[in-house]
Amino acid sequence: AKAAPAAPTAPPSKSVGPSRSERSVPMSFVRKAVAQRLKDSQNTMALLTTFQEADLTNSLALRNKYKDVFKKTHGADLGLLSIIIKACATGLMDIPGVNGFIDDAASEIVYRDYVDIAVPIPSPRGPVSCVVRDVESMCIRDIEKHLAELAGKAMKDQLAPEDMANASFGIVDTGSVGGMMGTSFINPPACATLSTNAIMQRAAFVDGKVVARPMMYMSLTYDHRLVDGREAATFLGSVRDKLEDPGRLLLDV
């Protein structure tokens, strides 16, 4: 009979004092690759961050009003992420610098006429960054279907390298774990990343009155070598306007 495989051994630990110990574990291939790319980004880019906040009353009302009929009609859930993705895509087409990158080897600026956005997708091992491609030509329905497809592949551990690489823009979310305000790194060849945060009821001044509204802080970290502060603030303001009035996405304004 075959011998049973040996049980995995716990990582060795060393004592660093009374009732204190440390243990060392090897870095995974993925962790090492991510660590190297983050350091390369920090060493190459001139990282700067600008902030904005958005009143999500209308976006949340839109989702709540149509989520059931959307699910029945299209077979996909209607979430806030797809609205954020579409708001970013329209802003990126209007301000191409935020969607471009610097080719350091050729000393050239590359402007893209397409939008590929990396977004967090849940998986058994935690969120992974996957790319939704050609978002500029998608409607909300198409975005939701693509997100569902990526989520299905992630849950089955069937994501391919091309599903997770070469985004022109990134979105990260600290709000899912309660983060109130955060910044992010940029994963090349993107030159900017949007960070979304927790939606919280906060006081807002509306029509001359102080009222409680679902507010969300956002930040845009960008490569200041390519993107000016004015462009970054204009882009982030455009995303805010579309989240506060999602009818703008329908009218392309």
Catalytic residue among 228, 241, 245, 252: 228
Q: Could you tell me how far CA 250 lies from the centroid of its own chain?
A: 22
Q: Tokens 């579309």 label which residue? A: 242
HSE (side-chain half, CA atoms, 13 Å) at 186: 27
Catalytic residue among 74, 77, 224, 241: 224
Q: Tokens 């992974």 label which residue? A: 128
Q: Tokens 């090492």 label which residue? A: 32
Number of H helices, E strands in the chain: 6, 10
Distance between CA atoms of 172 and 184, rounded to whole angstroms? 7
Q: Tokens 């204009």 label which residue? A: 234
Would residue 224 show up in a list of annotated catalytic residues for this protein?
Answer: yes
- Show Cβ contacts of residue 3 under 8 Å, excluding neighbours closer than 6 positions: none
Would residue 228 show up in a list of annotated catalytic residues for this protein?
Answer: yes
The amino acid present at 231, given as its one-letter code, is E
Please list the active-site residues: 224, 228
